[in-house]
Structure 1
Amino acid sequence: MDSNGDGTPDGSDGTTYLSLEWDESGVLYANGSDQTSVTVTALDAAGEPNLQDSFSQIQLQVVSGTEFVTLLTAEPIQIVKGQATFNLSTPPDAGTFSLQALGTGENITGVTSNVMSFTSKKESLKLSTYEKQTVTENEVYTTETLEDVLILNEQEKAVAVVRASNGAMELLNAADYTIEAREATTTDPTRLVILSQSSQNALASYFLMPDVERVTIWNS
């Protein structure tokens, strides 16, 4: 409905700003197969989501680092109930790129969102740690934070990732590889094995070793 006759449906003419967000946490892997999405939200003059907008046309543009990202949703799309989603992927080359949403419809021509920067990384079976210290009045607490482990095949294509947050192994290429649980033997512990579906050869094995608790005996 266009109650004021300005050619823009009611609700859509309230969109004044655009907000670009990425809901995922973690790392974008430069492997040619990792995909993610970003969300653009229509905002009114007060900066609140304009859920009445199901008309405005917007487009996602690469501000910098075009060689490090591939936009899978290239054409302008229409906002639905105040939001629109754009899909993208990262090529094999790692690097930093920036994205911005741009209004293309007549009612929001020239309206742009915030600029978001992303960094993709390329690692093969590399596990890094760093210490984070929390200082209180009497003690210093130290914890270790782990990065995800990315597993690549011979062609340096990502096959799987081990998430540092929970230790879970996630398959990134289910078309060519599978994960199989193997029982412990006299030489190997219980483990997960990544197998090539074509050759059934093992690409990598994954298992967790329990920490050794130290016992201190004090002389009385």
Structure 2
Amino acid sequence: MRELTERQKEVASFISKFIQKKNYAPSVRDIAEHFNFSVKAAHDHLKALEAKNVIKTTDGISRSIEIIGEDYSPRAEMIDIPVIGTIAAGLPLMSEQNTEYLLNLPISMLPNTHSTYFALKVRGESMIEIGIFDGDIAILKKCETANSGDIVAASVGEDEQGITLKGYYPSNGNIELRPANSSMGSIITRSCRVFGKLSLLIRNYA
């Protein structure tokens, strides 16, 4: 790749960050407005970047800019999420407290990047009616409280010996941990510790 001018580097960097943030390319007018120069000047910079094999465009199609130069390819910011043991989506089971491995995900997949997340493997069929299946990986936002209707990872009983994934419904001093499987009953308890709320579900189809 031929050497870029400082302005060309700035334009290439802007295009890369724009695509990373919005998942589509900027228009020529977007570039012109950002750098406060004319549409023609923006177009000239794009042609120069294309000649230097940094980008590729398609004539007549808006927002067709594609980064082809490796130095400016959009790179998603990633986050490591610990996968901790196995979560029971049926009767509560003992949870492993050690991290089995780290799950590397684009940070854009998470609704709140300032929160702490962890992951647990789903085991069982108690949540199948809302599309949560055995073998799924549940990504949870770490928290100790929940609102009625949230899907939570919670331990049941005074000894807090197991973790289960259920709908959370407090009422009259009791807590109902409700499955999403009409063939199974709820867990009613007065002692419940919430570990996190479901934020994302990952499924491997391989």
Give your verdict on TM over 0.5: no
Could you say which structure has the higher helix fraction? 2
Q: TM-score, normalised by structure 1?
A: 0.29
Could you say which structure has the higher strand fraction? 1
Q: TM-score, normalised by structure 2?
A: 0.30
